[in-house]
Amino acid sequence: MIKIEHLSKRFGNLEVLKDVSVEIKTGEVISIIGPSGTGKSTFLRCINLLDHPSGGSIRIDGVDIMDPKSDVPKVRQKMNMVFQSFNLFFHLSVMDNLTLGPIKLLGMSQQDAERKSMDLLKLVGLAEKAESYPDELSGGQKQRVAIARCMAMDPKIILFDEPTSALDPTMVSEVLSVIRRLAKDGMTMAIVTHEMDFARDVSNRVFYMDEGVIYEEGTPEQIFDNPQKEKTKTFINRIRSFCYHITSPDYDLYAMNAEIEMFCEKQILAVKTRQNLLLLVEEMLQIFNPFLSSLLLDIVLAYSEKKEILEVVFEYTGESVNLLDKNLLADELGLTIIQGVTESIDYRHMGNKNRLTMILKSA
Partner 1 sequence: MRNVALTRLSHFIKFLTITYMTIEIKKESAALVVKVAGRLDAVTAPEYEKKVNELIADGEINFVVDFEQLEYKSSAGLRALLATAKRIKGKSGKILLANIKGGVKEVFDISGFGTIFPMHDSVASALSASV
Binding site for partner 1 (CB under 8 A): 253-255, 258, 261-262, 265-266, 272, 275-276, 278-279, 282-283, 285-286, 333-334, 336-337, 340-341
- Shorter beta-carbon distance to partner 1: residue 186 or 340: 340
Distances (CA, A) of 16 to 5, 12, 212: 16, 10, 5
- Shorter beta-carbon distance to partner 1: residue 154 or 282: 282
Q: How far is the CB of 223 from partner 1 (least distance, A)?
A: 31
Give the whole-angstrom CA distance, residue 295 versus residue 123. 65
Distances (CA, A) of 270 to 158, 237, 267, 274: 45, 19, 9, 6
- Shorter beta-carbon distance to partner 1: residue 66 or 279: 279
Q: How far is the CB of 248 from partner 1 (least distance, A)?
A: 15
Q: How far is the CB of 276 from partner 1 (least distance, A)?
A: 8
Sheet holding 29-33, edge to edge: 79-82, 157-161, 188-192, 29-33, 205-210, 213-218
Q: How far is the CB of 270 from partner 1 (least distance, A)?
A: 12
User: Which residues, at least 6 apart from 119, have a Cβ–Cβ distance to it below 8 Å?
Assistant: none
Q: How far is the CB of 288 from partner 1 (least distance, A)?
A: 12
Q: How far is the CB of 231 from partner 1 (least distance, A)?
A: 24
Q: How far is the CB of 263 from partner 1 (least distance, A)?
A: 11
- Shorter beta-carbon distance to partner 1: residue 61 or 305: 305
- Shorter beta-carbon distance to partner 1: residue 32 or 287: 287
Give the whole-angstrom CA distance, residue 285 versus residue 274. 16
- Shorter beta-carbon distance to partner 1: residue 123 or 256: 256
Q: How far is the CB of 328 from partner 1 (least distance, A)?
A: 16
- Shorter beta-carbon distance to partner 1: residue 63 or 363: 363
- Shorter beta-carbon distance to partner 1: residue 330 or 350: 330
Q: How far is the CB of 126 from partner 1 (least distance, A)?
A: 37
- Shorter beta-carbon distance to partner 1: residue 105 or 333: 333
